Amino acid sequence: MHFAQYYLDCLSQASYLIGDKTTGRAVLVDPRRDIDDYLHDAEAAGLRIELVIETHIHADFLSGHLELARATGATIAFGEAAETGFPIRRLRDGERLSLGADDDQGVTLTVLATPGHTLESICLVLREHPDDDVPFGVLTGDTLFVGDVGRPDLLSAAGHTPQDMAARLHRSLHTKLLALPDATRVFPAHGAGSACGRSLSSETSSTIGDQRRFNYALQPMPVDDFIRLVTAGQPATPGYFAHDAALNRDGHPLLEPGPPPALTLDEALAAREQGAVLLDCRPLAAYTRAHLTGSLHTSLDTRFAEYAGSVVTPGTPIVLLTDPGTEQEARLRLARIGYDHVLGHLPDPAAVLDRSPALSSRSRRIRYEELGLREPQLAGAAGADGARTGGTEPADPIPTDSLPTDFLPTDSPPTDSVPADIQLIDVRNPAEYEAGALPGARNLPLAGLSHRIAELDPSRPVVLYCRSGNRSVIAAALLEARGFTDVCDVIGGYDAVGTGAQ
């Protein structure tokens, strides 16, 4: 058997190439849109990709089933309940897929219908030989993760309540997956950082036995308790999820390779006048020191595509502001979530800003101490924008004259809340906020902020914070692009409480 996992850190997404070395027949499961690695590896191993299997209709990335079908002639397959806008093979519960010369030999995959995350979700039990008592492993899609289970709330807008989907998920987990031997290896579709669950591990594989013992959602409990547990505290849904789910269901244009064209500053500004957004992809420190006024921001050293999909409306034309040599990476990572309308890139934004200081702005940032708040009782600081997602801060000091007048250092004693006219906004996910927040803060998660801006008063100052100071800068850029003039964020975020940000 040939078995390979492809893990994409920036989207916390896993795909799998499985083949029978004797026959050369292979399947690819949950592929991303850029397929060159799969094709290269399959050719090197002497494999023919005959079937592309999706464990469900993905919402967090644009899948590569159409690209692979075009490149290899492979058939696209989904669970039996899937409804798509293109021809598919429907896989039935219990169906066996043999990659051997006949059904009695060779690598075999058995389909398990496991609704709960979505209606059409399936898992695939993998055996190197059809009669193996203990399977090699099970590809669990978004039904079971290492340390978590799939969120059941993404179909709430389609007439299915999270409680109904959670009940289906419980049945799938207990009647299908936990019926497998403990030694069966677990290979999920996502890991830590994904918005498809709330407590995913950074480990990319496990076993059924370990998950039975250590996964919080698989512990013995009444069904009603399970439903309450998995429907609470889920991360905010990024704005692009519905867009990607529709494209994965209905079809989408094939990925176009190649770098985006270079634009002049005048061309970039003219594009913005016509409705495009300027997306600054440079590291946080470079952006906060100087950026084109009104540009959006998310750095390539963070969860770039996910954050971009949270602040840029699907279908909006995009002009990239990238460090030299990174424009192709930025375009590809946007394409992985279906953001194909990239008009071009502005080469060397730092040099452009040096030549055009009148078009440049500096981010307004403050230290936690300058809020004048007493330190809250720290209940936790779980988050998703720390070291592995680029949550670093600029090393240079912030000049006093860049701070809002309201927050200049004073000798006043600490208080339990900010002044009444200040809007203190926590842009972390709900579970992070509930674990501990600054006094008087409202929770408007970054993933949904663009749809809730009307809840904020643009005439009043806004102070934003997250965990480490990454998401808050992205949020500040969004508000400034929407016309807010008095916005700042807290350096170091909630992590800085009680320690200070250096």
The catalytic residue among 123, 196, 466, 488 is 466
Output the pLDDT for position 115. Answer: 96
Average pLDDT, the chain: 90
Output the pLDDT for position 70. Answer: 97
Is residue 112 helix, strand or coil?
Answer: strand
User: How far, CA to CA in Å, does 185 sit from each of 68, 189, 345, 501?
Assistant: 27, 13, 44, 42
Q: Which helix (H) or strand (E) holds 42?
A: helix 36-44
Interval 35-56 mean pLDDT: 98
Report the alpha-carbon distance of residue 419 to residue 372 in Å, rounded.
10
pLDDT band at 419 (very low <50, low <70, confident <90, very high): confident
> What is the phi/psi pair of residue 442, to 5°?
-100, 145
Output the pLDDT for position 502. Answer: 33
Report the alpha-carbon distance of residue 414 to residue 375 in Å, rounded.
9
Output the pLDDT for position 386. Answer: 36
Give the DSSP per-residue string, 157-185: GGT--HHHHHHHHHHHIIIIITTS-TT-E
User: Is 123 annotated as catalytic?
Assistant: no
419 Ramachandran zone, left/alpha/beta (phi>0; psi -120 to 50): beta
First-to-final CA distance of the chain: 52
Report the alpha-carbon distance of residue 480 to residue 500 in Å, rounded.
26
- Contacts for 371-374 with beta carbons within 8 Å, 24 or more apart? 371/407, 371/418, 371/424, 371/438, 371/463, 371/490, 372/407, 372/410, 372/412, 372/414, 372/415, 372/418, 373/414, 373/415, 373/416, 373/417, 373/418, 373/438, 373/439, 374/414, 374/415, 374/416, 374/439
pLDDT single digits (tens) 475-487: 999 999 999 999 9
Is residue 117 helix, strand or coil?
Answer: coil
> What is the phi/psi pair of residue 100, to 5°?
-85, -175
pLDDT single digits (tens) 195-220: 888 889 999 999 999 999 999 999 99
Output the pLDDT for position 376. Answer: 63
β-bridge mates for residue 492, sequence order: none
Output the pLDDT for position 197. Answer: 87
Is the pLDDT confidence value at 123 over 60? yes
